[in-house]
Amino acid sequence: MLRQLKTRWWKALAVVLLLYTFTAGMLIDVPARFVLHETIRNLFFHVPVWFTMILLLLVSLIYSTLYLRHGKLAYDIVAEQLAKVAVVFGVLGFLTGALWGNYTWGDTFSWLFADTKILGAFIGLLIYVAYFILRGSVPDEEKRARISSVYSIFAYILLIVFIFVIPRLTDSLHPGNGGNPAFSTYDLDNTMRLVFYPAVFAYFLTGCWIASQLIRLRILHYRKHNINI
Amino acid sequence: MKAFYKALFSIIAITLVSPVAALAQEASGQPEMATGMRSNGLIFVVVGVIVIILGGLFLFLIRIDRKLNKMEREIDNKS
Amino acid sequence: MNHSKVFVALLRKEVLSEWRNKYAISGILLYLLSIVMLIAFTFETTDDRTWMVMFWIAILFTSVNAVAKSFLQESEGRQYYMYTLAAPQLIILSKMVYNTLLMLLLSSIALLLYVVSLGYPVADSLSFLIAMLLGAMSFAATFSMISAIAGKASNSATLTAILSFPILLPVMRILIRISLRALPQESLQVNAQDMLYLLALNVFIVVLALILFPYLWRD
């Protein structure tokens, strides 16, 4: 697994896809909508940030379960660093969403607390900030890895339940919730799909790339203290 | 090296803040027109979003870079 | 010994240790009284919405203090001893059931104090009571599991709050939504979907805790 961190092909793929996303995302024809206007292009930039956060956290969760099964410290390092990158993507999602919402949904930010999608995202960030605080307060490495893995699995699975079940029950300005039609029905026509899915993949690979740097850094830290991972 | 980071940081900060400045101009009582950030069908909102994402990721990369530098120094001192 | 016998014994042990530590439960009661009086004296009179939201916030903060101690008060030695006697799943389950009962008791006392000091504006009492029952279950289950996690770390009292509030935020949202609907008129039918959802969520939390708890005490 750790050997994969140094291979190049998927990083090259990330670069190519990211370049494609940023050029095609600005240049292709998009359907004209009221309120949104050109900002419908943010579908290629803001939305994949959230998808990436959820995906990175999912991979982090897989590594947490692997840690609980096999007890190898390397798995825990991967889980922690992926969560770190995911939190950065989450913060970026908030900032970009605030800018976009400010120009389309109104600049009073009253939509911020009424929307369940935003609530879910906010809870996700809170959970992982708490996760890092939990890690900070357990000095023993093996114990820290075990406890934080348990918390991460517990909280993340509940978060997924909230995100994918609650919004269907309540109001949201985001598409696909509370009576709003989903993207698939009108926004995401077929040309937009051609940019959207590569965009998600590009961001995800970029996130993995950054995480791989952090993981290698962490391993170096252990090696400095003569611990081989 | 430190000066380089400072310059880079201020460039990123200025690009991030400039949309806010445009927003402040808009607030004065005139009838709402498609000016500043709102011109050309809100395209500058998209630009702002891109700048935030790239700026954020680069700030993060700079942090990692500094950590790496520190680690290299420590390992050099040790050997 | 079969499982149900062990379970009853564990539950008995919880009640007994609470009974012998009477200062702990009286501390919680005093805490509850202080919160309700704080609300009563600062708002003086409340509109219905404020009444309801503040009630749930009072319950939330009381339960942090009441339930969070469940794993913190036990010494390491006693925990190890218990783990040799019973399966970990039974231990966490007994804590959850006991804490649900404790939370039911505390929410009834809270409601009593609240009604005495601020009146009772709820039209659909049945919906409201079901919400209180579901709330007690959610709070007890979540805080039991989280306090087991936080108990392994330092400064665990603060940790319990910050680890569990994000998980309980949506639960609170649904609870308050149910209760607010119950304020003006009979609304059991409208609320049924939310109630079922919350019940399913509680079952989900319990199942997750049963799977994950054994990993916590393996040292």
Three-state SS annotation for C48-116:
HHHHHHHHHHHHHHHHHHHHHHHHHCCCHHHHHHHHHHCCHHHHHHHHHHHHHHHHHHHHHHHHHHHHH
**Does residue A94 form part of some domain?**
yes
- B13 Cβ contact list (under 8 Å, min separation 6): none
Window from A15-29, A138-152, A187-201, C191-205 with minimum mean pLDDT: A187-201
Q: Is the pLDDT of residue A133 over 70?
A: yes
C-alpha angle C155-A132-C70 in degrees, rounded to nearest 5: 40
Q: Give the position of tokens 């607390």.
A: A113
Confidence (pLDDT) at C154: 79
| A104 close to A68: Cβ distance less than 8 angstroms | no
**Residue B37: closest C-alpha in chain A:** A103
Question: C90 to chain A nearest CA, in Å?
Answer: 18
Window from A28-37, A157-166, C22-31, C70-79 with minimum mean pLDDT: C70-79
Query: Which of A36, A37, A46 is closest, CB to CB, to B49?
Result: A46
Q: Name chain A contacts of C146, Cβ cutoff 8 Å.
A: 151
Taking the C-alpha atoms of residue B54 and residue B63, their distance in angstroms, rounded to an integer, is 14
**Does residue A1 form part of some domain?**
no
**Chains B and C touching, counted as 3 or more CB pairs less than 8 Å apart:** no
Three-class secondary structure assignment of C205-218: HHHHHHHHHHHHCC
Query: What subunits touch chain A, counting only 3 or more CB pairs under 8 A?
Result: B, C
CB contact under 8 A, A206 and B57: yes
**Does residue A4 form part of some domain?**
no
Q: Name chain A contacts of B19, Cβ cutoff 8 Å.
A: 99
Secondary structure of chain C: what % helix, strand, coil (to 5)? 85, 0, 15
- The token pair at C1 is 């010994």
Looking at the complex, does the CB of residue C196 fall below 8 Å from at least one CB of chain A? no
- The token pair at C37 is 């009086």
Confidence (pLDDT) at A111: 73
Query: Which of A88, A95, A103 is closest, CB to CB, to B45?
Result: A103
Q: Is the pLDDT of residue A181 over 50?
A: no
Query: Which of B49, B64, B78 is closest, CB to CB, to A96?
Result: B49
Query: Which of A36, A88, A221 is closest, CB to CB, to B60?
Result: A88
**Residue A71 has what DSSP assignment?**
-
**What φ, ψ does residue A108 adopt, rounded to 5°?**
-90, -10
Question: A156 to chain C nearest CA, in Å?
Answer: 9
Of the pLDDT bands very low, low, confident and very high (cuts 50, 70, 90), residue A179 is: very low
Confidence (pLDDT) at B19: 53
CB contact under 8 A, B42 and A38: yes
What integer is the mean pLDDT of A162-181? 62
Q: Give percent of chain C above pLDDT 90.
A: 54
Q: Name chain A contacts of C145, Cβ cutoff 8 Å.
A: 154
Confidence (pLDDT) at B4: 63
Q: Is the pLDDT of residue C148 over 50?
A: yes
Confidence (pLDDT) at B22: 52
**Cα dist from A207 to A11, A90, B51, whole Å:** 10, 12, 17
Q: Is the pLDDT of residue A61 over 50?
A: yes
Query: What subunits touch chain C, counting only 3 or more CB pairs under 8 A?
Result: A
Q: To which H or E segment does residue C21 belong? A: none
Nearest Cα residue to A147 out of A166, A136, A157, A134 = A134
Looking at the complex, does the CB of residue A146 fall below 8 Å from at least one CB of chain C? yes
SS3 at position A87: helix
Looking at the complex, does the CB of residue A42 fall below 8 Å from at least one CB of chain B? yes
Q: Name chain A contacts of C163, Cβ cutoff 8 Å.
A: 130, 134, 151, 155
**Average confidence score pLDDT of chain A:** 84
Looking at the complex, does the CB of residue B40 fall below 8 Å from at least one CB of chain A? yes
CB contact under 8 A, C215 and A149: yes
Q: Give percent of chain C above pLDDT 70.
A: 96
What integer is the mean pLDDT of C71-100? 81
CB contact under 8 A, B53 and A49: yes
Confidence (pLDDT) at C162: 92
Higher pLDDT, B11 or C95: C95
Q: Name chain A contacts of C177, Cβ cutoff 8 Å.
A: 170
Higher pLDDT, A84 or C189: A84
> pLDDT tens for residues C38-75?
999 998 888 889 999 999 999 999 999 888 777 776 66
Q: Name chain B contacts of A91, Cβ cutoff 8 Å.
A: 56
The parent domain of residue A206 ranges over 9-224
Looking at the complex, does the CB of residue B22 fall below 8 Å from at least one CB of chain A? no
Q: Name chain B contacts of A82, Cβ cutoff 8 Å.
A: none
- The token pair at A176 is 């696909």
**Cα dist from A160 to A75, A205, C118, whole Å:** 22, 21, 38
Looking at the complex, does the CB of residue A119 fall below 8 Å from at least one CB of chain C? yes
**Does residue A151 form part of some domain?**
yes
SS3 at position C128: helix
> pLDDT tens for residues B25-75?
445 555 556 667 667 778 888 889 999 999 999 999 999 999 989 988 888
Which range has the top average pLDDT, B40-49, C146-155, C170-179? Answer: C170-179
CA B59 vs. chain centroid, Å, equals: 8
Taking the C-alpha atoms of residue A87 and residue B75, their distance in angstroms, rounded to an integer, is 29
**Residue C74 has what DSSP assignment?**
S
Looking at the complex, does the CB of residue B46 fall below 8 Å from at least one CB of chain A? yes
Count of domains forming chain A: 1
CB contact under 8 A, A134 and C159: yes
Confidence (pLDDT) at A178: 45
Query: Which of A119, A147, A157 is closest, CB to CB, to C153?
Result: A147
